[in-house]
Chain A
Amino acid sequence: MTESILVNIKNEFDIVLARQKGREVSKKLQFGGVDQARITTAISELARNIYLYAGSGQITIEILHENGRKGIKIIAADNGTGINDIRMVLQDGYSTSGGLGAGLPGVKRLMDTFDIDSTVGVGTKIIITKWIR
């Protein structure tokens, strides 16, 4: 059974909605309290990036089952301007918005895996996962 929740990000209240959904799913999957906070925070950061840099996009939350393990997968996708230099945004301390919005390196540290695919003029897709320990 593949369960997936989609939240359209169009305004700042959708950021709250996306992280509430993330909290619900991670609670249901019985992640520990700290991991729930990590997942919720990571979603909040990615949703805010969509809102700040692309204007709109989607957060999709999926439950993962693999070899008896359970996990959560979050896909943040937008059709914004895309990221010119991915290496640069993955450096700590890099920001184009004066400290608002996320350090992607921070999001990477909160999760188990972090994949980014971005094309200038097309958009950005970030996929993060976390497994129950």
Chain B
Amino acid sequence: MRIPILKLKDYLLVSIQVELDDQTVLTFQEDLLDKIKATSAKGVVIDLTSVDMVDSFIAKVLGDVIVMTSLMGTKSVVTGIQPAVAITLIELGITLDNVHTALDLEQGISILSQLLEV
């Protein structure tokens, strides 16, 4: 299973709509970095609105991919984290430090444009 990555102007948009298994998450990690290289994207939004569960492995891989995109010189924002997901992540002890977040895709895009203006 592959997570589709859409290009919109200078941004890449990812909306995760599938039940995440380990392999899908790891493939996504590589696909996103390849796509950044291929498109010279300046920003990435990863939308988790449809994701109802994030365990420590998924959180680790997502956190890592955001650091990786940053190493490549791209700004990333995670959007749409559901209340239940936010609660379980904190109870698990996962804080996702240094990750830019926004309530939804729209606010994510506006945070990206702010980050890229500087």
On A, residues with C-beta under 8 Å from B are: 12-13, 15-16, 19-20, 23, 33-34, 36-38, 40-41, 44-45, 48, 92-93, 99-103, 105-107, 109-110
Contact = CB atoms under 8 A, between A and B. Distances in A.
Binding site of B, secondary structure by majority: helix, strand, loop or mixed?
helix
Nearest to A22: B53
Nearest to B64: A99
A18 to B, nearest CB: 11
B117 interface: no
B91 A38 contact: yes
Contacts of B8: none
Interface of B: 19-23, 52-57, 60, 82-85, 87-88, 91-94
A96 B19 CA distance: 27
A106 B87 contact: no
A56 B110 CA distance: 46
Contacts of B52: 23, 36-37, 40
